[in-house]
Copies of this chain bind each other. A is one copy, B any other.
Amino acid sequence: MKIVVAIIKPHKLDEVKAALEAFGVQGLTVSEASGYGRQRGHTEVYRGAEYTVDLVPKVRVEVLVDDADAADVVEVIVKSAQTGRIGDGKVWTVPVDDVVRVRTGEHGVDAL
């Protein structure tokens, strides 16, 4: 089992979700995040005092997948999240020892 983690631009979430669904992924978990990287942030001004905000809003997507699907899922995400502009994000894969479905107690691939 693997967990694929993706940091993407917020407005790309719907497309990524749709692409993963089309691929056959049955579930995923999403959370809000902020990213720092090549993409520059923006400047805010309050009563003349300037602040540089260097964190950019991002969305974090986690997908548990069978080992065999990992590479494909990564590719599906990369394709659907791509705009070609700086700040599109990263996708990485981490090994998972085991997965359990809370509702049933099923383990492994059955838990997905």
Residues of B within 8 A of A37 (CB): 26-28
Is A19 close to B, CB under 8 A? no
Fill in one digit per residue for A83-104: 1 if any B CB lies within 8 Å of its CB, else 0: 1111111111111111111110
Task: Beyond A28-B37, A70-B97, list 11 extra A-B contacts (CB 8 Å).
Answer: A3-B94, A8-B102, A17-B54, A29-B36, A30-B34, A30-B35, A31-B33, A64-B90, A88-B102, A89-B102, A92-B97
A: which residues have CB within 8 A of B? Answer: 1-3, 6-8, 17, 26-38, 54-55, 58, 60, 64, 70, 74, 77-78, 81-103, 105, 111
**Can you give 21 contacting A-B residue pairs, CB < 8 Å?**
A3-B92, A3-B94, A27-B36, A27-B37, A27-B90, A30-B33, A30-B35, A31-B34, A78-B100, A82-B103, A83-B103, A88-B103, A89-B101, A90-B100, A90-B101, A90-B102, A92-B99, A93-B96, A93-B97, A94-B94, A94-B97
